[in-house]
Structure 1
Amino acid sequence: SLSSFVWDYTFKITAFLPFISMLFAFLMLYTVGGAQALKKHWVAAMLSGLVLSLTALFLAYSRIAPVEIIGILSGLATMFFVYFYYKNGSNATKNQTFFQKDLLVASSPFILLILLSFVVNMHSVKLYLSNLLNHYEVITVFADKKEDLNILSSVWFLIMVVSLLSIFILKPTANQLNNTVKLWLKRIWGPFLAYSLFFSVAYIMAWSGMDVIDGKLLPTANFAQNNMDIIIAQGFAQSFGSFYPLVAPFLGLIGAFVGGSATASNVLFAKIQWEATISTVGINSFMWIYAAHAVGGGIASAITPSKITNAAATIGVGGKEEAQFIKATILPVLFMCLLVGILSMIFIYL
């Protein structure tokens, strides 16, 4: 079933995280403060990486929380750990009460998102919201191919709702709100165009070698010879053979770097990974391959231009700092992808 597929896929992604999360924490420390910061805070970085990854791994294994909020809960657990770790070690914070008003108010959007996510992802609630708009949220992509957007049950819709509610909770000034809207309008077009182009390209590649017959999009007689995904996958299979798991994460990295997110990468390369896996290590290994692909896409977030641009705008730095950040992180990111590939080989062959 789809639910079993999603849970299995999620668990396999989290299996990589104990290694990758720690390395990511070290990378952030080194990027911000160099060797001195790494020497001073390596224990906190290592433990926070383990807290995040093991929390995600436990939630994926136990299935006690909706899969959509595993990342949120793991991040929350890590935030609590870091807070208490430094609170207990700092004289300046020992006398402060736990429920500081400013901290609680600042955290309220995050807390509200978690609560709403729990409610919306309850089976009965999610089913109701998924069917509420009925055919109004079903769009025709091409010929008989349709997509149900499921807007009201989407986590992105919840984020929008929480963002709007946060205006009344955080009570920004008119100037702050105006600057936020201007910044959003400035940033939105890059990700919007990237997603649009990547999904369009993914559809073109997946449906190449097909034709519309009686209103239905169907494979032609030469589909296997003309389909772009199959051709690319066969090229990878012939080039890497049984070592294909080693390079699978790099497809995720490339897709996310160009498209701006792991989601765009997953959409673009899903069928290619499927075909290449069947031709090399076998269909039973696909979940590990695709999980490694997703992790590679997640790692690429460290060097994705669109996200770096957003982060730079948030903290008020310019293009020079962005270029320096990419230069400083490119080699560690490639190393982490290689590590994911090695782990994939271990998970598949051992």
Structure 2
Amino acid sequence: MTWNQIVDPLGNIYLSLLIALVPIATIFWALAIKKMKGHKASLYAALAALLVAVLIYGMPIKLALLSFTHGALYGLFPICWIVVTTIYLFNIIVKSGKFEIIKHSMASITSDRRLQALLIAFAFGSFLEGTAGFGAPVAITAAMLVSLGFNAFYAAGICLIANTAPVAFGAIGIPITVASQVSGIPEMAISQLVGRTLPILSVVLPFYLTILICGYKKSLEVFPAILVCGISFASLQWFSSNFLGPELPDIIAGLGSIICLIIFLKFWKPKNIWRFENEEAPSEVEKMAYTKKQIAIAWCPFVILAVLIIVWGLAPVKEKLDLIGTFKFDIKGLHNVILDRQGEPIPHGYKLNMLSAAGTAILITALLSIPISGMKYREGFALFFSTLKQLKFPIITVSAILGFAYVVNDSGIVITIALVLANTGFLYPFVAPILGWLGVFVTGSDTSSNALFGKLQFETAKSIGVDPLVTVASNTSGGVVGKMISPQSIAVGTAAVGLIGKEAQLFRYTLKHSLIMLLLICLITLAQAYIIPWIVPIWN
């Protein structure tokens, strides 16, 4: 028995749109207006999605519940697996006292908070996005900034905003690969056009972040360093995406930006070292020097993490680990039961790739770090269970919001919204990035957004006479600025800095910045379609 997906349940696409927006509006209402805690907001949104799917879209209750369960499973693994192992690793480093050494080693490069944010939130975060993705960059960099003395709320907010420009090439370029698979456009062509769009954001972003931290005037004091950081990152992102492909832009640009900034700071220093208001100046004890050996040992977990994540991402290694450590099964009662608009069955399978998952690489790093950090394994194991207890609400949040995402996708709710946006005709290139933004907001993943809307972007562009590459690439580019407001990302950010329950405030903080950056991407896409079409690679 099968069920046909419905995209216009009320017989009028605009009335159907109003109903389709109810689940998404529920998230905004719960977080921005009612200021609910993340796990409560996500459960309300999931309930709204289930009610609309069943009562309006006619989705059988069994299918709706199975769809929610499928999404929740994906939320638990691999997403929550990454969050738990990342926070566990940080808890080991903090409890062992090694984070104090890391803090001082960072201060030896610069004790200026503005420049520390650029080094960690922007450059190091980009490197992590390129290797791991799926929430790890925000969790790691936010925890690092808090340990250095940043206000927890602003550390989470800054890291969420910084985690935009690199998202398109995250996890070894997976979002671009998926966009290519669903649209049929060559992977390299999408990589090239995204690599000619996002560097504009990459140049602006360091200055934008610094203004958020200290204001416009204080940002000008470190403008030379901001230029070095932004231009080095954008140049390397452009070069690698246009000539090497989508796998390495974040890794190359992130590391390159760190190296360029460190070298620059050897020869240039800001006139005034900026610290937060009411923040105490470093004491003599804080200024004490550590030996190179102590610093090397303290940084070992991050070195191991970087190496393992890169190795885990290599195709031969991943294939071997998948071969011996993967359990796959179809979701019985859901797999190939839902038919899309073209009458094609939608597959629903689940892959438990315990060995090849990025979270497992992080866990191995944590286990190797226990003796390196001077802890006993008995203490380390006890710390793991306390980490699970610490993260119980974020685990509920992420699982519920992924269940929500699967329900709105499988029921056809998201397709209803997409079809209305696709009816904008000549202005569609301006609207196209909004689809990507919406997809990432709902699913928390640029990869999932491309899988959801990639083909729609292709077909709509063809129907209005615009190069489909423009709109398919814009789905990826628009999606990156939706990452900072995704409930999944916000749950990761609050968990990393110990602000569980403050998701609503963080959502309201990042929302305006997300909309500002989305407008920029929309204008760039419109220009690519009609004003500067020569910038679009020839691919067919």
Do the structures match in fold with TM over 0.5?
yes
Aligned to 1:184: 391
**Are 2:330 and 1:139 equivalent residues in the alignment?**
yes
Shift of 1:297: 2.3
The alpha-carbon distance between structure 1 residues 13 and 343, as it changes in their structure 2 partners (threshold 3 A), is same
User: How far, CA to CA, are the matches of 1:103 and 1:245 in structure 2?
Assistant: 50
Aligned to 2:427: 243
Shift of 1:232: 4.3
- What is the CA deviation profile of residues 196-246 of structure 1, one whole-angstrom value per residue up to 9, with x for unaligned ones? 32134323339xxxxxxxxxxxxxxxxxxxxx73x54442232x2122111
Task: Tell me the SS of whatever aligns to 1:142.
Answer: coil
Contact 1:12 1:288 in 2 (8 A): yes
Aligned to 2:223: 42
Q: Pick from 302, 307, 326: which aligns with 1:115?
A: 307
**Are 2:460 and 1:276 equivalent residues in the alignment?**
yes
Which amino acid in 2 is paired with 1:250?
I
Aligned to 1:162: 365
The alpha-carbon distance between structure 1 residues 125 and 315, as it changes in their structure 2 partners (threshold 3 A), is closer
The alpha-carbon distance between structure 1 residues 188 and 85, as it changes in their structure 2 partners (threshold 3 A), is farther
Shift of 1:310: 4.0
**Are 2:316 and 1:124 equivalent residues in the alignment?**
yes
**Are 2:274 and 1:81 equivalent residues in the alignment?**
no
1:244-259 equivalences in 2 (<5 Å): 244-259=428-443
Aligned to 1:215: none
Contact 1:23 1:336 in 2 (8 A): no
Contact 1:198 1:267 in 2 (8 A): no
Contact 1:256 1:265 in 2 (8 A): yes
Contact 2:422 2:460 in 1 (8 A): yes
The farther-off stretch of 313-322 and 80-89 is 313-322
Which amino acid in 2 is paired with 1:63?
L
Aligned to 2:351: 149
User: How far, CA to CA, are the matches of 1:281 and 1:156 in structure 2?
Assistant: 43
Give the number of equivalent residue pairs.
318
Shift of 1:33: 1.1
Which amino acid in 2 is paired with 1:55?
L
Shift of 1:318: 7.8
Which amino acid in 2 is paired with 1:185?
K
> Percent of aligned pairs with the same residue?
25
Shift of 1:340: 1.2
User: How far, CA to CA, are the matches of 2:482 and 2:252 in structure 1?
Assistant: 22
User: How far, CA to CA, are the matches of 1:168 and 1:317 in structure 2?
Assistant: 29
User: How far, CA to CA, are the matches of 2:526 and 2:363 in structure 1?
Assistant: 40
User: How far, CA to CA, are the matches of 1:102 and 1:264 in structure 2?
Assistant: 42
Shift of 1:19: 1.0
The farther-off stretch of 21-30 and 180-189 is 180-189
Shift of 1:299: 1.6
Contact 1:242 1:281 in 2 (8 A): no
- What is the CA deviation profile of residues 121-156 of structure 1, one whole-angstrom value per residue up to 9, with x for unaligned ones? 44433433343356x324345137354738244445
- What is the CA deviation profile of residues 253-308 of structure 1, one whole-angstrom value per residue up to 9, with x for unaligned ones? 333334444345445444543443343345x42x4323322222222333445534
The farther-off stretch of 117-126 and 46-55 is 117-126
Contact 1:198 1:268 in 2 (8 A): no
Aligned to 2:198: 17
The alpha-carbon distance between structure 1 residues 321 and 53, as it changes in their structure 2 partners (threshold 3 A), is same
Shift of 1:344: 1.6
Contact 2:195 2:242 in 1 (8 A): no
Shift of 1:90: 4.5
Aligned to 2:478: 296
Which is richer in helix?
A: 1
User: How far, CA to CA, are the matches of 1:123 and 1:332 in structure 2?
Assistant: 36
Shift of 1:35: 1.9
Shift of 1:335: 2.7
Contact 1:199 1:267 in 2 (8 A): no
User: How far, CA to CA, are the matches of 1:294 and 1:249 in structure 2?
Assistant: 8
User: How far, CA to CA, are the matches of 1:24 and 1:245 in structure 2?
Assistant: 23
Contact 1:255 1:265 in 2 (8 A): yes
The alpha-carbon distance between structure 1 residues 301 and 127, as it changes in their structure 2 partners (threshold 3 A), is closer
**Are 2:254 and 1:71 equivalent residues in the alignment?**
no
Where do 5+ consecutive residues of structure 2 fail to align?
Answer: 1-179, 274-287, 337-344, 534-540
1:213-252 equivalences in 2 (<5 Å): 229=415, 232-238=417-423, 240-252=424-436
RMSD, aligned α-carbons: 4.0
User: How far, CA to CA, are the matches of 1:203 and 1:59 in structure 2?
Assistant: 36
